[in-house]
Structure 1
Amino acid sequence: MNPKYLFFIVNFVVSMHGIMGDRCRNEPSCKVQKVHGMKSADCYKLDLKHIPKCLTEDAEIIDLSYNRIREIKSDDLRKFKYLKFLYLAENMITNIESESLADKTNLQALDLSYNAFSQTLPEVIFHLPSLKNLYLSQNQNINIIDIIHAATPITSPLVLLDISHNKYSDIQTLPNLGIVPTLLVYNVSGMDFTMTFADVAGLCNLHSFVLDNSTVYFEDPCDCWTMGKWLKDRNVNFIPFDCKRSVEDECSFEIPQMAEEVFSACKQQHAEQIFQEKLNTTLIVVGSILCIVFLSLLIIIYRIRKNRIRRREIKRRNFI
């Protein structure tokens, strides 16, 4: 290589390293440590306006809560291939580009509470293959009903969904989540809404329906009592509805056929998921055992052949 070109390349690399070094020194320093065996970057309340460029790329947990970030662009999260937990609460985020999250197949928890999103959120959030905990509380500018409607069917294995304190209008309906058999905790606190069986029929394994400081309306007093009994019969924890007056003796416990069908479909889907998970686990175990047996056989065959060759060599020497 021409010495001039080599000098130019070396000088360029050194210059870029110096620029990056200066940038890193000028950025607030996030605390990097191990949390539950995972590499964590704690950038909590550092007055950041963007995601730090020099943040360690093998971080599995990133806490950027209580900063001044206004937008998440497509390249901001690209290098974090191992990211599992991302906390962005209490910023001023108005927009997240879909591409920034599209490849986050390991992401298990996403906190976007207390931000300033303008009307919408990326649909990809509800289709991340590992996402279990999603926090969307206190985003007053978004229409959570339209957002979830556009994203259904939800394919993320959500265990917890928090959409509390999102009052897009004075009285609204709950978003129809469809069938989400993995959901255990559904937080709709601080909201006023009318409720129907369609809102919960597809949540067949729901454990906690959080209604703190919420006002729930029903079209008919009998619907109020029937819904409460239906949830109790399925061991859901919730604050009892205010049915205004006792109507138990006047109402028949009739569940809409559609709700029963959706609930059954949810149970069936859940059973299939469990079966598939067990099948995958069994295949992994069996595959591992077969690999061990195969390797063991190879080792045994190798040693047998080696011993035969050694015996032949000994016989040959003795013959000579």
Structure 2
Amino acid sequence: MMVSGKQINSRTPSTMMNQPKFSAKQILLTLSALITLTLSYANGFATLATDMDRPQRCQLERIYKMAGYNCANLNLKEIPQSLKSNLQIFDLSYNRIRDLNRQSFARYTDIKYLYLFENMIQNIEEGTFSDLTTLEAIDLSHNALKSIPLELFRLPILRNLYVASNALHDLERDLELLEKPIKAPLQVLSLADCWLTRLPNFGILPDLWQLNISSNPMTELDIDHFSPMCHLRSLDTNNTQIPICACQSITTELTARRVTLINIHPHCKPLFATEQNICTQGSTTTPIAPSSEYDQCMEVRKSRKLDTEAKTAWLKISLGVLGCILVFSLVLYCFHKRNAKTMENNNKFSKSPPPPINRLGGEASIVENGKREKLINDCD
């Protein structure tokens, strides 16, 4: 608004009165907060840049007195070959590894525990794990495998095998080429979420005590499939699609074998007679007799038990004989030391000079030193 060539402020005094007033203290606090926020924001970018520039490497660790490398979550696409070769624990989980070949672990033949879960492994060349004769546990879960490398079943001390969350469509076909009974003394086997309709035929597994077949469409599962596992003590069937009658039969038989059934479906343990009649009506079933595979598995366990008892007995006998030999040797040594000491004393006594004899009196008497001259004078 212009009046006589002068510009007049359009804001009225009342408008001026409504504007907020900031004190010097509030202004200083606001500026301080802005400066702190700006510095922290800048430091955040600086820290991020430093972390990105810093090379990510496998970390050497020692667990339970065993040397190992932690190479997890490093976006690796292949097995690193610049690590120390005497490692026993190798963690390669959460990476982007797709292929494994014979050179992948050629330098690391002392591995006992190998973790390869959460990768993209599709192809494993034959012979990749053949030289890992000290391998005790391997985890290949959450990959893109279609089968299990057969050489794993030939490893002499492999006890734990985890292959969960792999679409093992070719496993049954490949197992037909596997020499049975397998050499690996498997104790823990995880086949969860592997798209299996029945248990694969691994042959007799006399050492297996824990089995996980959860999240599988086990439409062809039968009690005979558990016959080769005579030492089974724990079975996980969570979210497993087993037919009602087959599941009841499996539950009854395995419970009689003292197997702990984990996450079993409620219809596998009928509470009422009407539920049991669904599978028993019109059938003349008899108690399930042990199959030949079950008997064979038990024979293997009995023979191993006898071998262990025989070895223990021979060890006790050997230790007893060794103890008797040691005691006899100790007694001979003590006698020898005593005889040697006696002979030494006798030799000392025989070598001592005889005492002087007084021939004048006809009786042996000791002549004292200093009286010899007096004795001679008396004779004169």
TM-score, normalization by structure 1: 0.74
Of 130, 137, 140 in structure 1, the residue corresponding to residue 164 of structure 2 is: 137
State yes or no: 1:182 paired with 2:207. Answer: yes
Q: Which amino acid aligns with 2:71?
A: C
Aligned counterparts, 1:229-308, within 5 A: 229-238=252-261, 239-240=264-265, 242=267, 245-246=275-276, 247=278, 250=281, 254-255=286-287, 257=289, 259-280=290-311
Could you tell me how far apart the structure 2 residues matched to 1:175 and 1:76 are? 28
Aligned to 1:215: 241
State yes or no: 1:226 paired with 2:249. Answer: yes
Could you tell me how far apart the structure 2 residues matched to 1:40 and 1:294 are? 45
Shift of 1:292: 8.9
Aligned counterparts, 1:103-122, within 5 A: 103-117=131-145, 119-122=146-149
- Does the CA-based 8 Å contact 1:137-1:166 persist in structure 2? yes
State yes or no: 1:205 paired with 2:231. Answer: yes
How large is the RMSD of aligned CA atoms in angstroms?
3.5
Aligned to 1:69: 97
In terms of mean alpha carbon deviation, does 202-211 or 239-248 score higher? 239-248
State yes or no: 1:59 paired with 2:82. Answer: no
Aligned to 2:130: 102
Unaligned runs of 5+ in 1: 1-25, 309-320
- Does the CA-based 8 Å contact 1:115-1:138 persist in structure 2? yes
Could you tell me how far apart the structure 2 residues matched to 1:293 and 1:51 are? 56
Aligned to 2:151: 124
Aligned counterparts, 1:132-171, within 5 A: 132-140=159-167, 142-151=169-178, 152-167=180-195
Unaligned runs of 5+ in 2: 1-53, 340-380
What per-residue deviation string (whole Å, max 9, x for no partner) do you get for residues 162-213 of structure 1?
1110116xxx222123211111111111001121122101111111111111
SS of corresponding position for 2:242 = strand
Could you tell me how far apart the structure 1 residues matched to 2:312 and 2:128 are? 31
- Does the CA-based 8 Å contact 2:189-2:210 persist in structure 1? yes
Shift of 1:254: 2.4
Q: Which amino acid aligns with 1:174?
A: L
Could you tell me how far apart the structure 1 residues matched to 2:314 and 2:129 are? 30
What per-residue deviation string (whole Å, max 9, x for no partner) do you get for residues 194-238 of structure 1?
2112210111111111111111026xx3x4433321111111122
Aligned to 1:15: none
What per-residue deviation string (whole Å, max 9, x for no partner) do you get for residues 231-274 of structure 1?
111111221563593247646552455x4332222111111123
Q: Which amino acid aligns with 1:229?
A: T
Task: Give the direction of change, closer, same or farther, for the CA distance of 1:30–1:235 in structure 2 (3 Å limit).
Answer: same
Could you tell me how far apart the structure 2 residues matched to 1:56 and 1:301 are? 53
SS of corresponding position for 1:266 = helix
- Does the CA-based 8 Å contact 1:39-1:60 persist in structure 2? yes
- Does the CA-based 8 Å contact 1:226-1:254 persist in structure 2? no
SS of corresponding position for 1:215 = coil
Aligned to 1:312: none
Q: Which amino acid aligns with 2:216?
A: M
Aligned counterparts, 1:86-97, within 5 A: 86-97=114-125
Shift of 1:97: 2.3
How many residues align structurally? 287
Shift of 1:84: 0.7
- Does the CA-based 8 Å contact 1:27-1:52 persist in structure 2? no
- Does the CA-based 8 Å contact 2:223-2:249 persist in structure 1? no
Q: Which amino acid aligns with 2:238?
A: D
Could you tell me how far apart the structure 2 residues matched to 1:69 and 1:248 are? 48
Of 217, 229, 232 in structure 2, the residue corresponding to residue 192 of structure 1 is: 217
SS of corresponding position for 2:118 = coil
State yes or no: 1:44 paired with 2:72. Answer: yes
Higher relative contact order (CA 8 A, sep 6+): 1
Task: Give the direction of change, closer, same or farther, for the CA distance of 1:249–1:285 in structure 2 (3 Å limit).
Answer: same
Task: Give the direction of change, closer, same or farther, for the CA distance of 1:268–1:94 in structure 2 (3 Å limit).
Answer: same
